[in-house]
Amino acid sequence: MDKILIHGGHPLSGSIKVSGSKNSSLPILAATLLTREPCVVHGVPDLSDTHYMLQILIHLGAQVERASGTVSVSADNIESVAPYHVVRKMRASICVLGPLLGRCKEATVSLPGGCVIGDRPIDLHLKGFEALGAAVRVEGGNVKVFAPKLTGAVINLRGKFGPTVLGTDNVMMAAVLADGVTVIEGAAQEPEVVDLANFLNKMGARIEGAGTRRIIIEGVAALHGTEHDVIPDRIEAGTFLVAGAICGKGITVKRIQPEHVRSTTEALASCGFPIDIADHAISISPNGEAKALELTTEPYPGFPSDMQAQMCALLSTTDGISVITENIFPQRYMHVAELKRMGAEMQLEGATAVIQGVDRLFGAPVMASDLRASAALVLAGLKADGITEVSRVYHIDRGYERLDEKLSELGAHIERVKET
């Protein structure tokens, strides 16, 4: 098992390119199951999560080829059963349920694992399938759905903590081959949902309203193959921007959609960091004395939960008292205890973290608990005095393509080594 060593205190400079979006790639790859014809997807990041998804497609009978970020999938003949040993490592594997139901009119998918940031149920997914006319059973750790015929319906997918992104994806993929018109109310507005809708429309689907709270899907008889470029990963982009704020002397993040990271750049600007936005690049510069911040995570276009941990790392050395409230996944604070090991002063009050900025952090052995928490620990290590050892970096490899190498290109003293 690998760990990452960071020798802190070295300023970052230069430019870096963002990889394709993990959270777009996974449902788009799943959507290739909706057609017998070949599909080609460009910009798929080289991550353990995308590897797992390709393994699932292969298990289901698809022919898969991968080369330099381009994935070709031909799903001429597929099965509709994805057992636990195939899906157990990744929560997003549940997004094969929608396309299997849409194409095969039945599916059995084991309830997946892959995440420790709190309860993330799929009840809204199943509610959507039932509205389309499917019978749903959950037994023996498996979700079984069956429908001789899918029929369009009006479905509200807003949950307790806001719209469900994967639920919107799943229902949208099932509905494209349903009879009639489906209306998803309370839909997730994330750019990744829009990217999936664009991919499906290229396949011949008829989807309107993606990116709003109301998506309208007119079912079609069949979909065809297509070619598509995945959007840039907005969370990776935001993570590098925070890295530039923590210890940069001026960095530029390229291959970026500025609108997708607006809430992050606005938060950094509120802290006092100069931000320069171009068409597909954003630069961030040091400001000498950053300011404390009050921040609340919200569904897109609000500040993303996936950037909360990284902001905790930044605000841990920002003068004054900062307050972050986590409205999406209230239990998503496992990084706080590890940051405190490095000298951060943070207190949790329910779903709110109160952060008293300190003058300096100190390198320490820390343990990653999930994908974004691990990124926060790496960012803190860039700032800390001495050496920070981050264990369990397989979490990082789920969602960041060559994070250590990219940071090295910017001047970080960071290396990946085998744990003894």
CA angle centred on 253, ends 275 and 398, rounded to 5°: 125
Residue 2, both tokens: 């690998």
Residue 366, both tokens: 């820390």
Q: What pLDDT, on the 0 to 100 scale, is given for residue 116? A: 40
- To the nearest whole percent, how much of the chain has pLDDT over 70? 98
- To the nearest whole percent, how much of the chain has pLDDT over 90? 86
Q: At what angle do helices 165-175 and 22-31 cross, to 10 degrees?
A: 20
Read off the pLDDT band of 35 (50, 70, 90): very high
Q: What pLDDT, on the 0 to 100 scale, is given for residue 1? A: 80
**Quick check: 132 and 66 in contact, CB under 8 A?**
no
3-state SS of the chain: helix, strand, coil percent to 5? 35, 30, 35
pTM for this predicted structure: 0.95
Residue 219, both tokens: 């079912």
Average pLDDT (284-310) is 94
Q: What pLDDT, on the 0 to 100 scale, is given for residue 113? A: 52
Positive or negative CA dihedral for 37, 146, 173, 221? Answer: positive
The stretches of 231-316 forming alpha helices (DSSP H) are 234-247, 262-270, 308-315
> Of 115, 247, 271, 312, which is the active-site residue?
115
Residue 114 has pLDDT above 90, yes or no: no
pLDDT tens readout for residues 236-292:
999 999 999 999 899 999 999 999 999 999 999 999 999 999 999 999 999 878 999
Read off the pLDDT band of 106 (50, 70, 90): very high
pLDDT tens readout for residues 360-412:
999 999 998 899 999 999 999 999 999 999 999 999 999 999 999 999 999 99
User: Mean pLDDT score of the chain, rounded to an integer?
Assistant: 94
Active-site residue, 115 included: yes
Q: What pLDDT, on the 0 to 100 scale, is given for residue 117? A: 35
Residue 112 has pLDDT above 70, yes or no: no
pLDDT tens readout for residues 139-171:
888 889 999 999 999 999 998 878 999 999 999
Q: At what angle do helices 97-104 and 22-31 cross, to 10 degrees?
A: 20
Is 85 or 205 the better-scoring residue by pLDDT? Answer: 205
What the chain holds in terms of domains, given with CATH numbers, is 2-19+232-418 (3.65.10.10), 22-229 (3.65.10.10)
Residue 74 has pLDDT above 50, yes or no: yes
Q: What pLDDT, on the 0 to 100 scale, is given for residue 141? A: 83
Q: What pLDDT, on the 0 to 100 scale, is given for residue 139? A: 85
Average pLDDT (307-332) is 95
Q: Is 64 helix (H, G, I), strand (E, B) or coil?
A: strand
Is 205 or 288 the better-scoring residue by pLDDT? Answer: 205
